[in-house]
Amino acid sequence: MGEDLNYLFNPGSIAVIGATAREGSVGGVITRNLLTKFRGRVYLVNPSYTELLGHRVYRSVLEISGDVDLAVIVTPAPTMPKIMSECVTKGVKAAIIISGGFSEVGEEGAKLEREVKEASQGRVRILGPNCIGVYNAFNGLDTFFIPQGRMERPKPGPIALISQSGAVAAAILDWAARKGIGVGLAVNYGNKLDIGEIELLEALAGDDNVKVIVMYMEGLKYPGEGRRLLETLRRVTRVKPLVVYKAGRSRSSGRAVKSHTAALAGNYEIYRALFRQAGAVEVNNLMDALEVAKALATQPLPRGNRVLIITDSGGAGVQAVDNVESLGLVVPELPQELRSALSKSLPPFASTANPIDLTGSATDAMYKFVLDTVLPTSHVDMALVLAQMQLPGMTPKLADYIIEARRFGKPIVVYGISANEDAKAFKARLEDGDVPTYDRLETAANALRALYEYAIVRGLARPG
């Protein structure tokens, strides 16, 4: 990670400028969050107080004797140029300006924004203004100003999120937390006065905590950024997978983008081509982005596009084939000798062609037998396991067999729509064992497609 942006995500010390204890206010939420969660030094700054929540309050950053790596600023826009000058004097390395009231509100705000930039003299790197800032689950840096009761925080994990929208980031982090998806880092860059998506991509590409980057974007702001974005994405995808959701795809939504982030949504087809050229995996919403990222963070890359499907429900098997094949993967009929081998140990009415339909007689042991028999062969490149935990022969023990099957070095994902006690235990055990689980077939299929697509990008598989 470039040193400047390292201070943005991993500061040793933070000054909260505009610190307050006011319940429910933006500054109040941030002050409390940082005081209670951040694993580093936190200084409170506000000329109106001398003490807050039992902590000393400084009149300005200049009063602080220790080093300040990062300033988190929540004071009103007009105060910002002076505060920025003080940050420069103090030697602050980076600043997150949460406050709005800048270019997003018109010409006067834009003027203020330029003054802040000048005041920073290029010596303080700036995230924002008008942003929700940074969430770092590893060190407790959290400037998301929505209280915990309204927004749960995800556990540490290998996924990082770059979002052009703060509210969208807050909503999806809350969802990820409830789904148990580990999103270790998230960042929103607001008006992009200084740091934008391109530098953030570079920083996260070099961060060892991050295995997959998810990006939400609505459009670029400045001419010529497209080329830089393409080059950056290319560099990133050579190192780690990148999943992107681009909103603002129609004329009307382009209008909405302009009023939302002052960006140009541009022609969606051009963006699609750019992502394809860059080797990024595209999805159609952020939930799918994180679900797909879960697979990219845990599964080996497949050498081809052939999917083994095992099911305890013939109907779910049919639907799985539809979903998988509509995305360009294939469900090959297994060769006769392999089918004969399977038939010998499966119930007489099980279907062995692929999908392997174990029918209502399905047991954990049958799944294990199929995985152990078919996965090591050269006939399939990955597996989609469907299991509902509704049948009498099924138990959470199946999770262990699936986790053991990881030894064959092929991606495995699991689909189940049930949520009974056994289904919950089954899925929890799988997730702990780094096997992603899904409650929608489309999403499971999407995850396999993403693995295959990225395998092509990395030269491990050939286009089908």
Positions 243 through 262 that interact with a copy of itself (CB under 8 A): 247-250, 252-253, 255-257, 259-261
Tokens of 289: 């982005």
Q: Is 22 in the site for a copy of itself (CB under 8 A)?
A: no
Is-contact 19 83, C-beta < 8 A? no
What is the side-by-side order of every strand in the sheet holding 281-282? 141-142, 133-136, 183-188, 159-163, 212-217, 242-246, 281-282
Q: Which of 56, 111, 155, 178 binds a copy of itself (CB under 8 A)?
A: 178
Of the pair 39, 178, the CB lying nearest a copy of itself is at: 178
**Can you give the three-state secondary structure of 234-263, one letter per residue?**
HHHHHHCCEEEEECCCCHHHHHHHHHHHCC
Which of these ranges, 207-215, 284-292, 336-344, 373-381, lies near a copy of itself under the rule CB under 8 A? 284-292
Cβ nearer to a copy of itself, comparing 100 with 436 = 100
Q: How many residues bind a copy of itself (CB under 8 A)?
A: 76
Residue 251 Cβ vs a copy of itself, minimum distance, rounded to whole Å: 8
Which among 12-20, 56-64, 90-98, 350-358 is the span making contact with a copy of itself, rule CB under 8 A?
A: 350-358
Q: Which of 126, 116, 137 is nearest to 33 (CA)?
A: 137
Q: Which of residues 313, 363, 437, 446 is near a copy of itself by CB under 8 A? A: 313
Residues 26-65 that bind a copy of itself (CB under 8 A): none
Residue 308 belongs to what H/E stretch? strand 307-311
Q: Which residue has the tokens 């939504």?
A: 253
* 33, 165, 209, 437: residue in contact with a copy of itself (rule CB under 8 A): 165
For residue 168, give both structure tokens.
Answer: 């969208």
Q: Is 420 in the site for a copy of itself (CB under 8 A)?
A: yes
Q: Which range in 13-21, 192-200, 283-291, 368-376 contacts a copy of itself by CB under 8 A?
A: 283-291
The answer to whether residue 316 forms part of the interface with a copy of itself (CB under 8 A) is yes
Question: Coil, strand or helix: which one is 301?
Answer: coil
Residue nearer to a copy of itself on the CB measure, 47 or 328: 328
Closest CA to 94 of 182, 203, 176, 201: 203
- Which residue's CB is nearer to a copy of itself, number 27 or number 279? 27
Tokens 């995230």 — which residue?
127
Using CB under 8 A, which residues numbered 389 to 418 contact a copy of itself?
389-392, 417-418
Residues 46/19, Cβ–Cβ less than 8 Å: yes
Binding residue (CB under 8 A) for a copy of itself from 330, 338, 403, 456: 330
Q: Return the residue of 315, 335, 409, 464 that touches a copy of itself, per CB under 8 A.
A: 315
Contacts for 105 with CB less than 8 Å, ≥ 6 apart: none
Site residues (CB under 8 A) for a copy of itself, limited to 216-245:
216, 218
| Contacts (CB under 8 A) with a copy of itself, residues 101-160 | 104-105, 146, 149-152
Q: How many CB atoms lie within 10 A of CB 94?
A: 26
Per CB under 8 A, the list member of 53, 88, 230, 287 interacting with a copy of itself is 287
From 11-19, 75-83, 120-128, 165-173, span contacting a copy of itself (CB under 8 A): 165-173
What is the H or E stretch that residue 438 is in? strand 437-438
Q: Is-contact 220 228, C-beta < 8 A?
A: no
Cβ proximity to a copy of itself, 53 vs 287, nearer residue: 287
Helix 336-345, helix 364-374: angle, nearest 10: 160
**Dist CA 186 CA 131 (whole Å):** 12
